[in-house]
Structure formats: structure tokens, C-alpha cells
């Protein structure tokens, strides 16, 4: 496998083509972005920890039967993935109230959500990633009803697997965002799972170990990610 040219550069990752049209290289950069790119900083070791964290989680999810794009780690900052035809939606599951849910509905931060909620957001920075529903997705052709149903099923299955994994490390999986695409006709988990796209709290102190440390200027951002990785048993 040979890395070729830059295909696309997002806010935190760059994507390269390879000599195989079915595979791409994801490069995790140190760029850290929040508020739809309005706040951006370079954080030492962030690309590395997110790449390693994502590889660990994707492997666990694959082992549990979730179809993912992840193939293998290539270096500290690069992973080989399948090339998906991406669905432009973000699937968010929440176990505890935080972030935009608290702002939108006025519920108390930390309130347990039973059953957990499922929300869809349109991937569009210019519009501020607006919340959308299944009817919008069908009407505007972002995803078929069957694809939405499968994304929802997989997103909740991921919740069952990861909630317990984090709990075993004394962490609460508050919420997270997944992105999917299609590979050979199958809805497949893409993008990344890292503390950039989820909320993780210490189970006892509720200290934040995710990108809210960056959003809220709390400091110790990468240290929080690395601590979460160690608690999952990763050798970092």
C-alpha cells in the first residue's frame, strides 16, 4: 500500500488516496477545533493520542460485529481505512444531559437520560451543523429510510459496547457522535471515535476528560485524553 495525494483536509484530519482505490490514509493532526472551526489551536501529541484511541475503539467495535472502515495503524499519526461513500449526517447518542441538549431544552447538566436519546445533525459548518430529522434526510436525499434505521441500530449497539468499556475504567460515556458511509452497499462506521467527538467524565468526580476541556478553556486537554486511554488499558 502506497500513500499518494491529499484528497481532503478537514478541521483535525487529512485524507490521502492510496494506490488502491478502495483504501485511504487518515492523518490525525494536532489541530484542535471547536465551535464549527471558530476556535482552533495546535495541541502537542493530540494527533497521536486520537489516532491510537480511535484504533483501539474501532478494533473493539469490529470484534463485537460492528462494520467499520478501520483496517490498521500505519504510524503514530496515520491509519489505513476503507474508502466509504459518506452520509453527510452525524448520529448523536446521549446517556447524560450535556452540551447543546442542556442549552436547547433547559435540562440540568448530568441528568440521566433513560432511554438514551438519538439525534441527527447535518454536517455543514456554514449552517452550524443544524439538527435535522429522518424526514429531512429522506426528502433531501442525505440517506434512505433503511440507511437511517441501520445507522440508528448501529449507533445504539455501539453505546452498549462502549458504555460498559468506559465504566470498567471508572468513566461515564456522556454522549458521542458517529459518522457512517457506505462500502460495497453496507452501512459502515467511518470517521473516528476519540475524545474529540464524545464526552467522558470521571465516574466519581465527574471531571471532564474530553474536548469540553478545550471548548471551555480548562487546560490539560491532551492529558485528559491520555488518562482516558490509560484507563481503557491502552499502553500509550
Instruction: Give me the residues that bind ligand TMP (CB under 6 A), please.
Output: 90, 92, 98-101, 121, 129, 175-177, 197-199
Alpha carbon of residue 166 to chain centroid: 15
By a kind-dependent CB cut-off of 5 to 8 A, residue 35 interacts, out of ligand ASP, ligand TMP, none, with: ligand ASP
By a kind-dependent CB cut-off of 5 to 8 A, residue 121 interacts, out of ligand TMP, ligand ASP, none, with: ligand TMP
CB nearer ligand TMP, residue 23 or residue 88: 88
Binding site for ligand ASP (CB under 6 A): 11, 33-37, 211, 215
Q: Which residue has the cell 465527574?
A: 206
Torsion angles phi and psi, residue 88, rounded to 5: -80, 45
| CB 165, CB 103: distance < 8 Å | no
Secondary element (H or E) of residue 131: strand 131-132
Residue 34 C-beta: closest distance to ligand ASP, Å: 4
DSSP summary character for residue 24: E
By a kind-dependent CB cut-off of 5 to 8 A, residue 99 interacts, out of ligand ASP, ligand TMP, none, with: ligand TMP
Helices (H) and strands (E) in the chain, counts: 6, 15
Residue 5 C-beta: closest distance to ligand TMP, Å: 27
CB nearer ligand TMP, residue 24 or residue 89: 89
What is d(CA 3, CA 1) in angstroms, rounded to the nearest whole number?
A: 7
CB nearer ligand TMP, residue 56 or residue 176: 176
Amino acid at each position: 500500500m502506497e500513500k499518494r495525494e491529499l484528497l481532503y483536509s478537514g478541521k483535525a484530519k487529512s485524507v490521502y488516496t492510496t494506490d488502491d482505490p478502495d483504501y485511504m490514509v487518515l492523518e490525525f493532526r494536532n489541530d484542535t477545533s471547536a465551535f464549527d472551526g471558530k476556535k482552533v489551536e495546535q495541541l502537542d501529541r493530540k494527533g497521536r493520542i486520537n489516532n491510537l484511541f480511535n484504533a483501539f475503539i474501532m478494533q473493539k467495535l469490529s470484534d463485537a460485529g460492528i462494520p467499520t472502515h478501520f483496517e490498521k495503524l500505519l504510524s503514530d499519526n496515520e491509519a489505513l481505512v476503507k474508502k466509504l461513500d459518506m452520509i453527510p449526517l452525524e448520529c448523536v447518542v446521549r446517556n447524560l444531559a450535556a452540551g447543546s441538549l442542556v442549552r436547547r431544552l433547559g435540562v440540568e447538566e448530568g441528568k440521566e437520560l433513560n432511554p438514551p436519546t438519538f439525534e441527527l445533525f447535518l454536517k455543514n459548518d456554514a449552517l452550524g451543523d443544524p439538527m435535522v430529522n429522518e424526514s429531512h434526510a429522506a426528502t433531501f436525499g442525505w440517506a434512505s429510510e433503511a440507511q437511517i434505521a441501520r445507522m440508528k441500530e448501529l449507533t445504539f449497539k455501539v453505546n452498549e459496547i462502549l458504555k460498559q468499556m468506559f465504566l470498567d475504567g471508572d468513566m461515564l460515556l456522556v454522549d458521542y457522535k458517529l459518522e457512517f458511509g457506505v462500502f460495497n452497499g453496507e452501512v459502515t462506521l467511518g470517521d473516528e471515535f476519540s475524545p474529540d467527538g464524545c464526552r467522558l467524565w470521571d465516574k466519581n468526580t465527574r471531571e471532564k476528560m474530553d474536548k469540553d476541556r478545550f471548548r471551555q478553556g480548562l487546560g490539560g486537554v491532551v492529558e485528559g485524553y491520555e488518562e482516558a486511554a490509560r484507563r481503557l488499558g491502552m499502553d500509550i
